[in-house]
């Protein structure tokens, strides 16, 4: 758009020059004295027009510069918004994330049932899993998942009959709880003497912790909607 303005004004300049030259030659064919006066008038008019066109071209150049700067500012604003949106999605659990962390494998402890056979106690409840997740977040975990289900602010972990639901999806033991954060700190928090792992062992629950240099936690895939909550407008 800026170039078209520049070309248009350039074309106008050329056309004015041709018209003025034509008028000057036409007048010269008549009375020589009148032609001389008319030629001086046309020369002055041409000079004035050229000056006006020059000022207009300067204004166009100034506007072009401002438009370019506005374009750069808009691009920077879009990039900043994109970064902020990615941060919000990451915080809300709406994007897949990876990083160092720890994996906990939770399952019932096997018990001898006579004749060399073993039975595994299925005594893990939703409350046990919630205690683990809460403890991990208290220890600084930045993201967590249970059997591939991302834990978010709207996730539910609850007992449903003979199984546990996470985000409305039934899961079964062994339960793999993955968390991103300082692996040593996360693992150490649960392994404190008299801490959560000791408590779970007393409940007949086995929990194995493994530090990982990198784990991948999937995004929350369920739909999010608000029917009653509305944004409060700031004054």
State whether 107 and 44 are in the same domain: no
Q: Measured on CA atoms in the order 74, 78, 83, 87, is the torsion positive or negative? A: positive
Q: Which of 73-77, 98-102, 162-166 has the lowest mean pLDDT?
A: 73-77
CA neighbor of 130 nearest in space, from 196, 194, 189, 180: 196
Domain CATH number, residue 166: 3.30.70.1880
Judge contact between 88 and 195, C-beta under 8 A: no
Give me the sign of the Cα torsion angle 221, 151, 148, 183: positive
In the predicted structure, residue 18 carries a pLDDT above the cut 50:
no
Q: How far apart are CA 86 and CA 95, in angstroms?
A: 8
Cα separation, 26 vs 199, whole angstroms? 110
Do 49 and 82 share a domain, yes or no?
A: yes
76 and 170 assigned to the same domain: no
Residues 74 and 101 in one domain: no
In this structure, is residue 146 part of a structural domain? yes
Report CA 147 to chain centroid distance, whole Å: 26
Quick one: 132 and 210 in the same domain? yes
Q: Is residue 2 part of a domain?
A: no
Question: By residue range, what is the domain housing residue 74?
Answer: 38-92
Nearest to 37 by CA among 28, 26, 47: 28
Same domain as 174, residue 82? no
Instruction: Count CA atoms within 13 Å of residue 17 on its CB side.
Output: 9
101 and 86 co-located in one domain: no
Residues 130 and 165 in one domain: yes
Residue 18 lies in a domain: no
pLDDT score at 74: 75
**pLDDT-wise least confident of 43-57, 61-75, 143-157:** 43-57
pLDDT digit string (tens) for 121-150? 558 999 999 999 999 999 999 999 999 999
Number of domains making up the chain? 2
Does 64 fall in a domain? yes
Q: What is the pTM of this model?
A: 0.65
Same domain, residue pair 107 and 211: yes
Q: What is the percent of the chain with per-residue pLDDT over 90, rounded to a whole number?
A: 42
Query: Is 32 contained in some domain?
Result: no
Lowest mean pLDDT among 31-40, 64-73, 105-114, 222-231: 31-40
Same domain (yes/no): 51, 143: no
């Amino acid at each position: 758009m800026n170039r078209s303005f520049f070309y248009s004004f350039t074309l106008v300049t050329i056309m004015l020059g041709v018209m003025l030259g034509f008028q000057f030659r036409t007048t010269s064919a008549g009375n020589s004295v009148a032609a001389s006066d008319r030629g001086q008038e046309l020369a002055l008019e041409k000079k004035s027009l050229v000056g006006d066109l020059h000022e207009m071209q300067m204004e166009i150049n100034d506007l072009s510069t401002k438009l370019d700067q506005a374009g750069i500012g808009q691009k920077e604003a879009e990039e900043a918004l994109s970064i902020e949106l990615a941060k919000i999605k990451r915080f809300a659990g709406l994007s897949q994330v990876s990083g160092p962390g720890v994996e906990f494998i939770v399952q019932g402890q096997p018990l001898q049932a006579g004749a060399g056979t073993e039975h595994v106690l299925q005594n893990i409840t939703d409350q046990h899993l919630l205690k683990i997740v809460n403890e991990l977040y208290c220890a600084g975990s930045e993201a967590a998942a249970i059997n591939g289900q991302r834990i978010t602010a709207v996730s539910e972990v609850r007992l449903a009959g003979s199984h546990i639901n996470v985000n409305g999806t039934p899961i079964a033991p062994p339960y793999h709880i993955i968390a991103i954060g300082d692996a040593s700190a996360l693992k150490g928090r649960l392994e404190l003497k008299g801490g959560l792992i000791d408590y779970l062992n007393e409940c007949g629950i086995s929990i194995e912790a493994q530090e990982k240099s990198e784990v991948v936690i999937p995004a929350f895939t369920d739909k999010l909607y608000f029917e009653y909550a509305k944004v409060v407008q700031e004054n």
